[in-house]
Structure 1
Amino acid sequence: MAEDGGVGDGRDRTPSARADVCVVGSGPAGALVAHRLADAGADVVVLEAGPRFDFSRRREQQEEHIRPGMDDLWGMGGPRDDYTTAGKHYPLNAARVKGVGGSTLHWQGMVMRLHERDFEMDTRYGLGADWPIDYEDLRPHYADAERELGVAGAMDNPYAPPREEPFPLSAFPPSHSDSLFAEACERLGIDMHSVPNARNSESYDGRSACQGYGTCRPVCPSGAKYTAESHVDKAETAGARVIDHAPVQRLEHDESGEVVEAAVYATPDGNEHRQTARRFVVACGGVENARLLLLSESERYPDGLANTSGAVGRFFMDHLFAGAGGRLDEPTRQNHIGFITSECHQFYDDEEPIEGVKLEFLNYAGPSPVIEALHAETWGDELLDQLRESYGTHIAMGGLVEQLPDAENRVTLDPERRDDHGNPVPHIEWSLSERTRDAIRRANEVQHAILEELGASIEWTVGPGATGPAYHQMGTTRMGTDPDESVVDSTCRTHDLSNLWVVGSSVFPTGGAMNPTLTIAALSLRAADSLADSL
């Protein structure tokens, strides 16, 4: 699956003698920045904490996924990835990957733009915060990001913000169960529309069209789903250097405290190295971005690097899941594909509750017949009868609900627990407000109404008391105009240090209820343009 990264693997992990830009992390944010800058002629070094995974093993990984009792496909867990939580338990390792490509290796691939209201929540509603940019500022970068990722979609969403051009690829057609939902939604006056997906509906950018394996999460064997490996490869072709198994321990600044001088990283041989550069970009994800800055404390920055505002680690947000499902007395053909083709933004801008709600019409519900067969204790005709009884009539809806920023939801360093390099592990304090729970209840009400109109017997509901995160970690290095209240400016450059940028969902002042990766990509491309101008 991955190079072992051990002593003797033959890889040179010593620092580059000259670097214009050092990027920490090779997920979508870091990969896009690295490629854009390398393509413009900059000397770029990327430091990645995890391994480089072997694409030729994706089919084998898929087979491992459907077998019972297999370990995590992406090697998460153990002292390297340890963490602690308080308040509502936050299962951090359930949906993150350390390695070249980051979380895009196992993401679901839905990519929609934030709505215009998401950038001005304080102005409109007196809630949350305003972004230092508005939708129009990010609009051209959204289009750029859609081209880079290869987004399949249709201009059929009446609630979406304005666009400047069609999607690069045509949308995936609605599934059979989408057509069942459509009949009930039409009777209820509820609009359905397509979902933009970062997977190829036709060959694009050297990657094949979707083959319909149905295991998009956790692994796409065909390569049709976008992963940041694509832009890592492009960055390397343009001259960038990527060092894997190189977890950055801290960033060091000069005597004045105005610029970062080096990223100190560890290698499997037990040594530490200092990579110097003219510019630095932190792109480690919503939790690790904050943790690295906190680990980089100094006499000048006793509360963590770039943290004179005290906002580093605070305002941690995620999206909450709301869902309901059951059975119909007819075939639903669920588990047909492993991604969502239809959704509803109709209730996103509802005045009550203010939190955004995005509804999803799931193409998968109930047990997979393959996985159920592998776990079964019966054989032959008995097993076949069991599968016929359990498979094919399930139907379900999902949804994402917005969580507004709260300074008490935060990422700090655990003073007692250490990782494999002796550093404090991240500690996540997370809780839900009653306003957020009200929004989840609202989502459940609409979901139940649709399922009941469909004639389904509702068997389960994920509501306010049972909800969990969508694993979209946001807000911990928020952007803003006031250095006393934010960590980075509108270009993602830190207020405190002139040569340090932070990119990714950690810079979001609010999170809306849209999957964040397209916004991550758009902001990263915008930051790369700003950074290039500074070189």
Structure 2
Amino acid sequence: MANDYAADVVVVGTGVVGCLVAEHMLDAGLSVLMLEAGPRVDRWRIVENYRNLPPSLRQHWNAPYPPKPWAPHLESRTDTEVAEYLQLEGPDARAFRQGYVRYAGGATWHWAGICWRMVPDDFRLKTLYGVGRDWAFDYHVLEPYYTRAEYAMGVCGPADPALQWPPIRSRPYPMGPLPFGPGEQRLTDAAARIGLKNLPAPQARNSGVSYDGRPACCGNNNCFPVCPIAAKYDAASALPKIEAKGGRILANAVVYRIETDAKNSAVQAVHYFDPDKASHRVTGKIFVIACNSIETPKLLLLSGDERNPNGVANSSDQVGRNMMDQPKLIAEVTLAEPLWTGVGPVQNSSIMNTSQGEFRSRHSGAMLRMENAARSGIGGAAALKKGLVGKALDTEIRRLSACTARLTIEHEPLPQAQNRVTLSSKKDWLGINKPHIYNDVGDYVRRSAKEYTVPLLRRLAAELGATDFQLSTEFLNSDHIMGGCIMGADPATSVVDVDCRSHDHHNLFLPGGAAMTTGGSGNSTITMAALALKAADGIVDQLKHG
């Protein structure tokens, strides 16, 4: 066993949370070592992987990212491959089939870039509506960190408060919004006729100008699975900046154990396997576990020992519990007239006013949107299945490309203790237990779909001129993984404090989605990033002042 590495701050994970923490530490004059389970890869390689995929696989966002034996992740190409890594169970197991990748840069490689903030009422669910939990602080505590995250990542958005969500901001967005394509404008007009407001989505994408060394968006419509020019923020483009500031990044380093000291009050090392299955030990002053909300609790549970029989940081028995994603329903619709999605980013707007209301005491709110992906591949595949040839095939491809769309509902989840990650008895190539996940969206979400969101989506589709409406038969994953290390003031009922510091071990920080108390209806990344920066301030303060 080697003991080759040490740093002031050891960061496990190289996604947006890890990168924001690492850069803040380096700016504060601290040494940083980042560990990444998967490989580091050039952008051109992912673009080529995507271009060489058969059309049937291009809708799978993780398809251009083949997993390494030592860093497996879900492959959504077939159900058989799904079963190989994520062990899913429960009445809504399908809704937690998460498509993250274990590559340097994490899931930001194939995220859509959307940066909806949570709103003030989202932080007070228990107080206002008698459901879920309240956060340990209110929106105004996190607002400065939301703003810092937007400037760190380069988020574009509207200057008009009437188009912002929420319109409670300390600074404007760094850049103005991207324009709507024709399909999104049609959706906006149709939504307004039934009392809904389709808003420009704030997104970590450069709108017409370069920002932070990245070029302006040129309208590629494959933001997921990859932005070919890095106009969208992704952590992969942040890693060279971290290295330029003196940070060290070890790829293909699979952390499998967190080691605490004899008093069990602090972490003193993490252990990782390299691709040759050799083990290494890394020491530091502060340890930041910045994996996603499946891999972070999995690592804590893997680290159980005599001092921590239920896993590290788990005296509350809350590690792995309260897992959340926004359970999604999709409708494939056919329209009487051309809609023409596919101009601009794959997601560029959302209906957010459906997420708020007194109804939240009975059922969840939700975000509604139309996916702005080009439909030519989908239309071509559907036309071929009809057995058409020649001009008839060409005509049908054009019709299906122009006159079809996907409408999406993403429901607000509640933290539920039974929705949890545990360790499967099945093990991966390195002999590490795979994650086992139980998921039940709960009656709060099911009532919303039955009484509120699906009827509303049908009205919206009708207003768009839909002639056919095909709704998914089960809840699906949104890939907004949250929970597992829930935040709270009481160590008996939570895993981390308001700075995402473990209640059990004073130098262990678990920032990002894992710490989120509730999930809201919008994409989770900007809240994860804000929590990362809040934790970073806490780390610097702890190291400088004790």
Structure 1: runs of 5+ lacking an equivalent: 1-12
Which residue does the alignment assign to 1:4? none
Which residue does the alignment assign to 2:81? none
Give the 5 Å matches for 1:121-520. 121-154=125-158, 155=160, 156-157=162-163, 160-201=166-207, 202-354=209-361, 355-364=364-373, 366=375, 368=377, 372=381, 380-414=390-424, 416-441=425-450, 442-462=452-472, 465-520=473-528
Which residue does the alignment assign to 2:541? 533
Please give the alpha-carbon distance, in whole angstroms, between the structure 1 residues aligned to 2:210 and 2:2: 38
Please give the alpha-carbon distance, in whole angstroms, between the structure 2 residues aligned to 1:337 and 1:375: 27
- In percent, how many aligned pairs have the same letter? 36
1:90, distance to aligned residue in structure 2 (A)? 4.0
SS of structure 2 residue aligned to 1:358: strand
Task: Say if 1:400 and 1:513, in contact at 8 Å, map to a contact too.
Answer: yes
TM-score normalized by the length of structure 1: 0.92
What are the Cα deviations for residues 141-173 of structure 1, in whole angstroms up to 9, with x where unaligned?
100000011111113436525111211111011
1:14, distance to aligned residue in structure 2 (A)? 6.7
SS of structure 2 residue aligned to 1:427: strand
Please give the alpha-carbon distance, in whole angstroms, between the structure 1 residues aligned to 2:57 and 2:484: 35
Task: Say if 2:333 and 2:407, in contact at 8 Å, map to a contact too.
Answer: no
Please give the alpha-carbon distance, in whole angstroms, between the structure 1 residues aligned to 2:395 and 2:414: 48
Task: Say if 1:62 and 1:220, in contact at 8 Å, map to a contact too.
Answer: no
Task: Say if 1:322 and 1:443, in contact at 8 Å, map to a contact too.
Answer: no
Which residue does the alignment assign to 2:8? 20
1:457, distance to aligned residue in structure 2 (A)? 1.3
Please give the alpha-carbon distance, in whole angstroms, between the structure 2 residues aligned to 1:283 and 1:384: 48
1:313, distance to aligned residue in structure 2 (A)? 0.5
- What amino acid is the match of 2:87? T
| Structure 2 counterpart of 1:76, from 67, 75, 92 | 67
1:228, distance to aligned residue in structure 2 (A)? 0.8
Give the 5 Å matches for 1:102-113. 102-113=106-117
Which residue does the alignment assign to 1:120? 124
CA shift in 2, pair 1:276/1:78, >3 Å: closer
SS of structure 1 residue aligned to 2:436: strand
TM-score normalized by the length of structure 2: 0.90
Aligned residues: 520
What are the Cα deviations for residues 470-519 of structure 1, in whole angstroms up to 9, with x where unaligned?
12121100010000000000001000001100012010111111100001
Please give the alpha-carbon distance, in whole angstroms, between the structure 2 residues aligned to 1:66 and 1:148: 36
- What amino acid is the match of 2:381? E
Task: Say if 2:343 and 2:374, in contact at 8 Å, map to a contact too.
Answer: no
Please give the alpha-carbon distance, in whole angstroms, between the structure 2 residues aligned to 1:183 and 1:397: 15
- Give the CA RMSD over aligned residues: 2.3
Please give the alpha-carbon distance, in whole angstroms, between the structure 1 residues aligned to 2:422 and 2:374: 37
SS of structure 2 residue aligned to 1:301: coil
Structure 2: runs of 5+ lacking an equivalent: 74-84
Please give the alpha-carbon distance, in whole angstroms, between the structure 1 residues aligned to 2:57 and 2:164: 45
Please give the alpha-carbon distance, in whole angstroms, between the structure 1 residues aligned to 2:274 and 2:126: 45
Task: Say if 1:334 and 1:393, in contact at 8 Å, map to a contact too.
Answer: no
Please give the alpha-carbon distance, in whole angstroms, between the structure 2 residues aligned to 1:159 and 1:335: 24
CA shift in 2, pair 1:484/1:104, >3 Å: same
Please give the alpha-carbon distance, in whole angstroms, between the structure 2 residues aligned to 1:17 and 1:218: 34
- What amino acid is the match of 1:518? I
Task: Say if 2:412 and 2:520, in contact at 8 Å, map to a contact too.
Answer: yes
Q: Which moved more, 1:305-314 or 1:335-344?
A: 335-344
- What amino acid is the match of 1:160? P
Please give the alpha-carbon distance, in whole angstroms, between the structure 1 residues aligned to 2:419 and 2:378: 40
Which residue does the alignment assign to 2:42? 54
SS of structure 2 residue aligned to 1:98: coil
CA shift in 2, pair 1:118/1:51, >3 Å: same
Please give the alpha-carbon distance, in whole angstroms, between the structure 2 residues aligned to 1:78 and 1:270: 11
Please give the alpha-carbon distance, in whole angstroms, between the structure 1 residues aligned to 2:140 and 2:428: 42
- What amino acid is the match of 1:126? G
